[in-house]
Structure 1
């Protein structure tokens, strides 16, 4: 494990399909992240950005999974045009909770 990052394991269970059929699939992912995801989850739960319960946690988890892949592949052509906009988005996202709850 890289000493500069935290190590996580995520297990995702398919509970039900949209037609009502019980889900049967499971995927397990191991990944590293430079941030403490649980500390960030506590922060967004204390200072939600979205009105619907649970959306902040889902958004944060997806964002952290995505952004770490992007950071690890920052020179990949896929991210060339997106990276500058993402940097601005992250600044706005980080300050948004402070603005809402100041």
Structure 2
């Protein structure tokens, strides 16, 4: 049985840079995630971990992008020391 993932498209556009100049770069890519990210956004918002919704969404998106890459590359030595801490962090987050 084939495992199915949700597919998303992310567009990141520079608006302004810290030197005050206008940004001109855009990155766009499709990616898969085993979770429904919009449900995750709602869940993180409902837990009131952060004061505002945007911070909660930035947190949730960053965490889900990072952990999905880590899951897809379980054997990569880069994640060897980090994996136990991330697993513990995720347990703590889910228990809140």
TM-score, normalising length: structure 1? 0.86
Report 1:47-86 matches (<5 A). 47-86=47-86
Gaps (5+ residues) in structure 1?
97-102
For residue 95 of structure 1, report the CA deviation from its aligned partner.
1.5
For residue 29 of structure 1, report the CA deviation from its aligned partner.
1.5
Whether 2:23 is the aligned partner of 1:12: answer: no
Whole-Å separation in 2 of the counterparts to 1:20 and 1:40: 34
Gaps (5+ residues) in structure 2?
none
Q: Give CA deviations for 1:34-91 in whole Å, capped at 9, x if unaligned.
A: 0000111112222220124411100000000000000000111111111111100000
Secondary structure class of the residue paired with 2:22: coil
TM-score, normalising length: structure 2? 0.91
Secondary structure class of the residue paired with 2:41: helix
Whether 2:43 is the aligned partner of 1:37: answer: no
Q: Which runs of 4+ in 1 moved over 3 A?
A: none
2:92 matched to which residue of 1? 92
Whole-Å separation in 2 of the counterparts to 1:19 and 1:69: 32
RMSD: 1.3
Moved more, 66-75 or 44-53: 44-53
Number of equivalences: 95
Whole-Å separation in 1 of the counterparts to 2:72 and 2:22: 36
Whole-Å separation in 2 of the counterparts to 1:44 and 1:89: 14
